[in-house]
Structure 1
Amino acid sequence: MGGFRACFFGLCCNWGARIDLTDRDPTTDNSDPQPSTVFFSYSREDQARAVPIIGVIQDAGFTTWWDGLLEGGERFSKATEDALDRAKAVVVLWSRTSVQSHWVRDEATRGRDRGILIPLSLDGCEPPLGFGQFQVINLAQSRIDSSDTEILRMLRAIAASHRAVLSIPIAPVKQSRKIGRRLAIGGGLSVAAAAAGIAIWKGNMLGSPAIRNSVAVLPFDNLSGDPQQRYFSDGLASEIRSNLSRNGLLEIVGQTSSNQFREHSGNARSIAKELNVSFLLDGNVQRVGDRVKIAAELTDGRTGTTQWSRIFERQLADIFAVQSEIATAVAGALSAVMDEGSAGKKALQVGGTKSLAAFDAYLRGRDLFESHIDEASERAALAKLEQAIAIDADYAAARALRSRTLAVIANQYATAVERKALYNEAVSEAQQATRNAPNFAPAYAALGYALFYGRLDAAAARAPYERAHQLAQGDVDVLSRYAVYCARTGRFVAAETAINRAAVLDPLNSSMFKSAGNIKYAAKAYQAAIGFGRKALALSPQRGTLHGDIANAYFMLGDLDKAQAEFALESNSLLALPGDAIIAHRRNDKGKANAALAALIAEHGDNALYQQAQIFAQWGEIEKAFAALDKAYAAADSGLVYLLNDPFLEPLRADTRFIALLRQLKFV
Structure 2
Amino acid sequence: MADIFLSYARADQPRVEKLAAALEEAGYSLWWDKHLRSGHQFSDDIEAALAKAKAVLVIWSADAVKSEWVRDEAAIGRDGNKLVAARIDDTLPPIGFRQRHAIDLDDADAMASLTQAFDALIGGTHEVATPALTKKRTPNAALLALPLLAAIGGLGYWAWDGGLDGTADEVAASTSLAVIPLSTLGNDDIAFLGEGISGSITNDLARLEGLQLTANASVNAVAGQGLSAAQIGEQLGVSHFVEGQLQQVGDEMRADISLIDTSNGAQIWNKSYRRSKNALQSMQADMASDLAAALQSRLGVGAGRVAAAANVDPRAYEAYLRGREAQTRRNDITKRRQAYAEYRRAVSIAPDFADAHAGLAYILVVSGGSGDLFMSQEELKGQYVEALEAVERLDPDNLLGRAAKSVGQLRFEADLEGSIRTAQSILDEAPDHAPALYSLGFIHLRMGNHLEARTVLNAALNRDPSMKTSRARISLASRRWVIIRACRNMSVSAKAATI
TM-score, normalising length from structure 1? Answer: 0.29
Which one has more relative contact order, counting CA pairs under 8 Å at least 6 apart? 2
TM-score, normalising length from structure 2? Answer: 0.37
Larger radius of gyration: 1
